[in-house]
């Protein structure tokens, strides 16, 4: 196992940044010890076997009491602050442990349900997120509604105590594994753009749901097209109230960019250290010093930025749109790191790990909103342009 980075030290940050308090130092040490003892080693190459292994891995971490550290104990969480959750993200990524498979639930929809859900929804949906017995996906994008999310056309009509859903989503990550889909639909046919939308929690096993996996350039069916043909969803599965889908979605997106960006940033720092070691071993550091310096500074800034976002999340002061800065910056650093590796290592031959990460880095400026859209949001909402 690789030593975690010194820059993420307890108490190294100031408010409103999320303070990784010194009492969490014990949690950090507990996690490191537990990972050392339970390191599952290399994951299976084959996609389905790897997904199954990742599900078992999350279950194992959950049994050890480390998943959902900031969630209320009544739903199976640890009852601690968001900083505890941040420590888990950092330690997982810094020690190159496999990811938690149910991250869409843990980082995005769990917090949204905690904020907007009914007591019945919290009791029903949160525990299965933690132990990975119920995997979640997110159905926002459609063939004609990606960047322009307010153009969603998938519709749901009220019929008695049910909603009936018809339409199509695309690029739904992990759809084929999921039990639940947080689905953005138009519930008011008269509603224009952002009004008349709702978020429904849809059982992916319902009659009328068809999942058609799509192959990425990495050769894996990471996401799918999902078709809804007269799918019945109980009205009690509307999240945050009928017609409030836009607000609910924007809140969910803000959560998505907190812990997820922190985990990715920590993982990038580990890959940065790998790159430095490799260049050093090859005697190529001198030629790369300038790019490495820029990268290290960017990683420091990204760390500071995401801890600030998480601090606002913890305090309930997150300004809508502000997490676009984190997402934009993450995409920039991600692509810069692997492009730098390619520039300096391609003569020596890049191994599969570097090639995988280089290809994957291209998707970071697309998913969860493209970099162009993040710039638009920053210009309009943060800078008032
Ligand atoms: C790996 C991966 C996983 C994903 N997972 C999910 C998921 O789980 N759930 C989900 O709902 N979606 C998911 N997506 C979809 C993702 O959110 C969309 O791809 C993204 O929002 C862009 O939408 P689009 O593909 O329709 O492109 P388009 O919106 O058609 O955009 C095409 C290009 O035009 C640019 N553009 C569009 N409008 C503007 C504008 N106003 N100003 C400037 N430039 C503009 C875009 O930046 C882009 O470069 C995933 C995507 C990827 C790559």
- Residues 135-172: tens digit of each pLDDT: 999 999 999 999 999 999 999 999 999 999 999 999 99
> pLDDT value at position 191?
86
DSSP β-ladder status, 209-214 and 223-234:
antiparallel
Q: Average pLDDT for residues 30-36, to the nearest whole number? A: 95
**Predicted confidence (pLDDT) at residue 249 exceeds the cutoff of 70:** yes
Instruction: Give yes or no for residue 361 CB within 6 A of ligand 1.
Output: no
- Kindly indicate whether the domain formed by 247-382 is annotated with CATH number 3.40.309.10: no
Q: Average pLDDT for residues 243-269, to the nearest whole number? A: 93
Q: How far is the CA of 363 from the centre of ligand 1 (A)?
A: 10
Cα distance between residue 287 and residue 280, in whole Å: 11
Cα distance between residue 132 and residue 55, in whole Å: 6
> pLDDT value at position 2?
34
Confidence of residue 11 (pLDDT cuts 50, 70, 90): very low
Q: Best substitution site from 367, 377, 381 to test ligand 1's pocket, by max atoms within 8 Å of Cβ?
A: 367
Q: Average pLDDT for residues 345-351, to the nearest whole number? A: 85
Q: Average pLDDT for residues 322-346, to the nearest whole number? A: 95
Confidence of residue 306 (pLDDT cuts 50, 70, 90): very high
Q: How far is the CA of 225 from the centre of ligand 1 (A)?
A: 14
Q: How far is the CA of 371 from the centre of ligand 1 (A)?
A: 9
**Predicted confidence (pLDDT) at residue 274 exceeds the cutoff of 60:** yes
Architecture in CATH for domain 24-130: Orthogonal Bundle (1.10)
Q: Which residues of 363-375 are buried (b: 16+ CB within 10 A; e: fewer)?
A: bbbeebbbbebbe
pLDDT tens-digit map of 189-217: 998 889 999 999 999 999 999 999 999 98
Cα distance between residue 46 and residue 55, in whole Å: 14
Question: Which has the closest alpha carbon to 140: 268, 248, 64?
Answer: 248
Instruction: Give yes or no for residue 370 CB within 6 A of ligand 1.
Output: yes
Q: Best substitution site from 327, 366, 371, 380 to test ligand 1's pocket, by max atoms within 8 Å of Cβ?
A: 366
Q: Average pLDDT for residues 115-140, to the nearest whole number? A: 98
Contacts 24+ apart (CB under 8 A), 67-70: 67/100, 67/106, 67/130, 67/131, 68/106, 68/110, 68/126, 68/129, 68/130, 69/27
**Predicted confidence (pLDDT) at residue 6 exceeds the cutoff of 70:** no
> pLDDT value at position 72?
96
Nearest atom (ligand 1) to Cα of 141: 11
> pLDDT value at position 348?
83
Confidence of residue 23 (pLDDT cuts 50, 70, 90): low
First and final CA of the chain: distance in angstroms?
47
Architecture in CATH for domain 136-243: Beta Barrel (2.40)
> pLDDT value at position 8?
34
How many percent of the chain have pLDDT more than 70? 94
How many percent of the chain have pLDDT more than 90? 82
Verify whether residue 23 is a known catalytic residue: no
> pLDDT value at position 295?
97
> pLDDT value at position 319?
83
Give residue limits of the domains in the chain. Answer: 24-130, 136-243, 247-382
């Amino acid at each position: 196992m690789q030593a975690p980075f010194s820059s993420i030290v307890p108490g190294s940050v100031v408010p409103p940044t999320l303070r990784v308090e010194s009492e969490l130092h014990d949690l950090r040490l507990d996690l490191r010890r537990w990972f050392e003892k339970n390191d599952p080693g290399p994951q299976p190459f084959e996609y389905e076997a790897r997904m199954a292994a990742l599900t078992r891995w999350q279950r194992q971490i959950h049994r050890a009491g480390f998943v959902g550290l900031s969630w209320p104990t009544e739903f199976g969480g640890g009852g601690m602050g968001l900083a505890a959750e941040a420590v888990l993200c950092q330690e997982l990524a810094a020690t190159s442990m496999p990811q938690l498979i149910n991250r869409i639930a843990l980082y995005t929809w769990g917090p949204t349900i905690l904020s907007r859900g009914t007591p019945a929804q919290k009791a029903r949906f949160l525990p299965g997120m933690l132990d990975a017995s119920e995997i979640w996906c997110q159905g926002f994008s459609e063939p004609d509604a990606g960047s322009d999310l307010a153009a969603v056309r998938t519709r749901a009509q009220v019929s008695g105590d049910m909603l009936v859903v018809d339409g199509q989503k695309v690029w739904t990550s992990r759809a084929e594994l999921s039990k639940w889909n947080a689905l953005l639909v138009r519930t008011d046919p008269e509603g224009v753009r952002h009004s008349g939308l709702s978020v429904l929690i849809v059982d992916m096993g319902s009659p009328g749901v068809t999942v058609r996996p799509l192959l990425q350039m990495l050769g894996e069916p990471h996401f799918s097209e999902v078709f809804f043909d007269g799918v019945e969803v109980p009205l009690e599965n509307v999240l945050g109230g009928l017609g409030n889908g836009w607000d609910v979605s924007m809140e969910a997106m803000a959560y998505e960019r907190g812990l997820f960006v922190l985990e990715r940033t920590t993982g990038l720092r580990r890959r940065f250290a790998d790159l430095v070691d490799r260049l050093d071993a090859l005697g190529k550091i001198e030629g790369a010093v300038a790019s490495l310096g820029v990268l290290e500074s960017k990683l420091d800034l990204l760390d500071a930025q995401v801890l600030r976002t998480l601090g606002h999340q913890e305090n309930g002061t997150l300004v809508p749109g502000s997490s676009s800065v984190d997402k934009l910056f993450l995409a920039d650093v991600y692509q810069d790191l692997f492009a730098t590796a390619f520039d300096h290592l391609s003569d020596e031959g890049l191994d599969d790990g570097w090639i995988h990460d280089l290809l994957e880095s291209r998707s970071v400026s697309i998913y969860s909103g493209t970099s162009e859209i993040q710039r638009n949001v920053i210009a309009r909402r943060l800078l008032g342009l």
